[in-house]
């Protein structure tokens, strides 16, 4: 074999390799964000299905309702919050998902801190007096989730701590709330 021919082919191959590495960029297909539709929503309702929401924590209680197409405090009289705060609270509640089911038909709620819940949210659906209640207990051992009791379904579930945080912040920012 001819050395010159071999050297020429080596130079051509090296040039093509340098060109590909330097100038050709791999085509990266944009990935669609994964849809996490596999989580069940705690309430599974639309805002239009709800007539009122009651939030009770630490001896304080508030009821939210629709007035002029906005969420507002309807009880107790004189209590006030900005519509944005009310909307944020409703969104936090409706966006809460069940992370896992801990126990169906629990016999002892005390182990989850649900014998004296830290927070209770009751949603009135308006049609024939239907309501659904979620009670929040203590944090799980990991600290990133909380035990919650879905009263109507009679099961203890884990939910994120964001709902508890949002409710406490909401309650702390209400003006003229008795018991504050």
pLDDT tens-digit series, residues 71-123: 888 888 888 888 888 898 999 999 899 998 888 988 888 889 888 898 999 99
Specify the DSSP class assigned to residue 58: T
- Is the pLDDT assigned to residue 19 strictly greater than 70? yes
pLDDT, average across residues 33-58? 79
pLDDT of residue 31: 56
Q: What's the token pair of residue 136? A: 């929040």
- Is the pLDDT assigned to residue 29 strictly greater than 70? no
pLDDT of residue 77: 87
pTM of the model: 0.73
The share of the chain scoring above pLDDT 70, in percent, equals 89
Assess contact for 146 and 139: CB atoms under 8 A.
yes
pLDDT of residue 66: 80
Q: What's the token pair of residue 42? A: 């705690």
Give the separation between CA 57 and CA 168, rounded to whole angstroms: 8
pLDDT band at 1 (very low <50, low <70, confident <90, very high): low
Domain limits, the chain? 40-172
Q: Which of 62, 16, 43, 57 is nearest to 177 (CA)?
A: 62
pLDDT of residue 36: 56
* 70 alpha-carbon distance from chain centroid: 21
Check whether the bond before 125 is cis (ω within 30° of 0): no
- Is the pLDDT assigned to residue 37 strictly greater than 60? no
pLDDT, average across residues 46-61? 86
How far is it between the farthest Cα atoms of the chain? 100
């Amino acid at each position: 074999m001819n050395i010159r021919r071999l050297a020429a082919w080596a130079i051509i191959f090296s040039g093509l390799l340098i060109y590909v590495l330097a100038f050709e960029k791999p085509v990266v297909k944009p990935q669609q964000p994964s849809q996490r539709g596999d989580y069940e929503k705690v309430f599974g309702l639309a805002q239009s299905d709800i007539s009122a929401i009651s939030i009770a924590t630490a001896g304080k209680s508030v009821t939210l309702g629709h007035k002029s197409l906005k969420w507002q405090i309807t009880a107790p009289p004189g209590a006030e919050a900005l519509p944005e705060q009310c909307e944020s609270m409703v969104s936090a509640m409706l966006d809460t998902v069940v992370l896992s089911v801990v126990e169906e038909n629990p016999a002892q709620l005390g182990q989850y801190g649900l014998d004296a819940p830290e927070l209770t949210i009751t949603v009135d659906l308006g049609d024939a007096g239907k309501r659904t209640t979620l009670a929040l207990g203590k944090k799980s051992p990991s600290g990133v989730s909380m035990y919650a009791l879905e009263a109507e379904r009679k099961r203890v579930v884990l939910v994120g701590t964001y709902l508890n945080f949002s409710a406490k912040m909401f309650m702390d920012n209400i003006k003229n709330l008795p018991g504050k």
